[in-house]
Amino acid sequence: MSRSSWKGPFVDGYLFKKAETSRKSGRNEVIKIWSRRSTILPQFVGLTFGVHNGRKHIPVSVNEEMVGYKFGEFSPTRTFRGHQADKKARRS
């Protein structure tokens, strides 16, 4: 069952504070968070979060398409890399 819409998206409160501080500082930093359950909101777009996967903080660069998803969806707790073959990395 999905979350009732009248409640609005769930976000841990401290993320707003961290995001705001990061924006104001203007420094090259990754905002380290443990809140995998929080929803990605439009005000997080353009920031880079380090989302904990139980072991390390995985860099998550937030863009418009990610709004509405949870942070944890971009930081898998189990990783199977497979073979590199001809895979390409795009610099964002």
Partner 1 sequence: MFPEGNDRLILIGVVVGVHGVRGDVKLRSFTSVPADIASYGSLMDSAGVFSVEILSLKAIGELFVATLRGVRDRDGAESLRGIELFVPRSRFPETDEDDWYYADLIGIDVVGIDGKSFGTVTAVDDHGAGAFLEVTCSDGSIDFLSFSRRFVPHVDISAGRLIVTPPDDFMLE
| Residues making contact with partner 1 (CB under 8 A) | 27-30, 32, 48, 50, 56-63, 66, 73-76, 79, 81-92
Task: Measure the CA–CA gap between 45 and 76, rounded to whole angstroms.
Answer: 20
Query: Smallest distance, Å, CB 28 to partner 1?
Result: 6
Distances (CA, A) of 13 to 33, 37, 77, 92: 12, 12, 23, 28
Q: What are phi and psi of 66, to 5 degrees?
A: -90, -5
Query: For residues 6 and 80, which CB has a smaller minimum distance to partner 1 in the complex?
Result: 80
Query: Smallest distance, Å, CB 8 to partner 1?
Result: 23
Query: For residues 7 and 27, which CB has a smaller minimum distance to partner 1 in the complex?
Result: 27
Query: Smallest distance, Å, CB 24 to partner 1?
Result: 16
3-state secondary structure 38-63: CECCHHHCCCEEEEECCCCEEEEECC
Query: For residues 2 and 92, which CB has a smaller minimum distance to partner 1 in the complex?
Result: 92
